[in-house]
């Protein structure tokens, strides 16, 4: 005799959110979940403690239920990885908002389609990356991005910070770059100045 599916809920809100898991918890209990794993963590990573604990306790025939797909993950790649872990445990998956249920043939077909689109997206990214590298080689560049700043702008940043007229933070805001970028520009500038000074000392000596 086949046992009744054991529904397990997973609820998540991101760190820093004003909202709580209350709405999700209510929806999951209403859907018949007998246990709910709650987490406060970013949806951008898949190795979340409560999520991993839940997956580790899954048994054949269990069903993982979420309020919305993005509660499982905000990354399509990670979501498919989590879905694979759930499937390997012999469990099913349901999303209440999107009405996805992998315990049905229609739900399984939908997830297969999602996986196909994800693979297509990865193939397109690889193709664009290869094309970009080929173009870079054709233009005589080894690879990577061009500098966002012109040489004149880099010199202005370096001189302004090195002379104390402006702070690194001010120049970063002015040229819409990060402070670490400004720090690297100033460090390279000072290294060049020191080298020139050393060369002059050697010649005069």
CA angle 85, 89, 90 (to 5 degrees): 120
Q: How far apart are CA 22 and CA 15, in angstroms?
A: 15
Other beta carbons within 10 angstroms of residue 151's beta carbon come to: 8
Quote the strand ranges of the chain, DSSP E: 7-13, 35-40, 63-66, 92-95, 100-101
CA 66 to chain centre: 20
Tell me the sheet residues that pair with 11.
Answer: 38
Length of the chain: 205
Catalytic residues: 14
Would you say 37 and 9 are in contact if contact means Cβ atoms under 8 Å apart? Answer: yes
């Amino acid at each position: 005799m086949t046992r009744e599916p054991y529904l397990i809920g997973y609820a998540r809100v991101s760190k820093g959110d004003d909202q709580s898991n209350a709405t999700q918890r209510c929806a999951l209990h209403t859907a018949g979940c007998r246990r709910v794993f709650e987490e406060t963590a970013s949806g951008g990573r898949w190795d979340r403690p409560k999520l991993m604990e839940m997956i580790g306790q899954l048994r054949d025939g269990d069903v993982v239920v979420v309020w919305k797909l993005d509660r499982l993950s905000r990354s399509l790649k990670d979501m498919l990885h989590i879905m694979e872990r759930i499937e390997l445990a012999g469990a099913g998956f349901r999303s209440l908002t999107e009405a996805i249920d992998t315990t049905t043939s229609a739900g399984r077909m939908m997830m297969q389609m999602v996986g196909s689109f994800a693979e297509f997206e990865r193939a397109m990214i690889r193709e664009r990356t290869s094309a970009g590298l080929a173009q870079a080689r054709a233009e005589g560049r080894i690879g990577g991005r061009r500098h966002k700043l012109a040489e004149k702008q880099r010199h202005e940043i370096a001189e302004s910070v090195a002379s104390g007229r402006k702070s690194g933070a001010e120049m970063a805001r002015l040229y819409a770059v990060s402070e670490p970028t400004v720090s690297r520009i100033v460090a390279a500038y000072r290294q060049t100045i020191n080298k020139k000074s050393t060369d002059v000392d050697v010649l005069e000596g």
